């Protein structure tokens, strides 16, 4: 299993929007600058996210994006499921995908179990959790 830059950048995009949750719409260029991500690359990710109604978009001079829900209501799993073709640890073989019995692949239970654990883990982490952790790490940086 490998999470692409598309998935990682989508998470960073949501974290940035969550950090500015109380603001109005945030311009894509501002998010790109703060997150050190190409604006063009973010423009390729946005349509996938917009189709799912998890973002609010506004055009014009005061345009940009904002979260449609509270940051605590978005999970990492939800965002990755939108941006990644699969978060499965292995690609299904043609045999098992066509309904072949699990007796044919005696290791299938290992990969199914791993996928369940990974999915449960990612479902347990919200965007707000990431923001809180980031704030705690930054807040504990004392210099004397």
Q: What is the pLDDT of residues 17-62, one digit of tens each?
A: 999 998 889 999 999 999 999 999 999 999 989 888 899 999 988 8
pLDDT at 62: 84
- Distance from the Cα of residue 32 to its chain's centroid: 16
Whether residue 65 has pLDDT greater than 80:
yes
Classify 19 as helix, strand or coil. Answer: helix
Q: Cα–Cα distances in Å, from 107 out to 54, 103, 104? A: 37, 9, 9
Residue pLDDT, tens place only, 78-137: 999 999 977 777 775 544 455 555 567 888 899 899 999 999 999 999 999 999 999 988
- How many CB atoms within 10 Å of residue 13? 25
Work out whether the CA dihedral 96, 101, 102, 104 comes out positive or negative.
negative
Is the per-residue pLDDT at 14 higher than 90? yes
| pLDDT at position 107 | 87
User: Hey, what CATH class is 5-139 in?
Assistant: mainly alpha
More confidently predicted of 16 and 102: 16
C-alpha–C-alpha distance, residues 115 and 33, integer Å: 34
Q: Which of 135, 139, 131, 143 is nearest to 73 (CA)?
A: 131
Q: Where are the domains of the chain?
A: 5-139
Of residues 68 and 87, which shows the higher confidence score?
A: 68
The CA distance from 132 to 110, in Å, is 33
H/E element, 57 = strand 55-58
């Amino acid at each position: 299993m490998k999470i692409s830059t598309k998935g990682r950048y989508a998470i960073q995009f949501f974290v940035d929007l969550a950090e500015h949750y109380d603001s109005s719409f945030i311009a894509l260029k501002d998010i790109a600058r703060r997150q050190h991500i190409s604006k063009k690359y973010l423009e390729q990710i946005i349509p996938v996210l917009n189709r799912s109604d998890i973002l609010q978009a506004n055009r014009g001079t005061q345009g940009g994006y904002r979260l449609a829900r509270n940051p605590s209501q978005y999970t990492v799993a939800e965002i990755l499921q939108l941006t990644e073709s699969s978060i499965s640890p292995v690609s299904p073989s043609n045999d098992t995908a066509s309904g072949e019995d699990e007796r044919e692949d005696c290791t299938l239970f290992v990969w199914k179990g791993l996928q369940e654990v990974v999915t449960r883990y990612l479902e347990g982490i919200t965007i707000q959790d990431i923001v809180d952790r980031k704030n705690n790490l930054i807040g504990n940086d004392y210099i004397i």
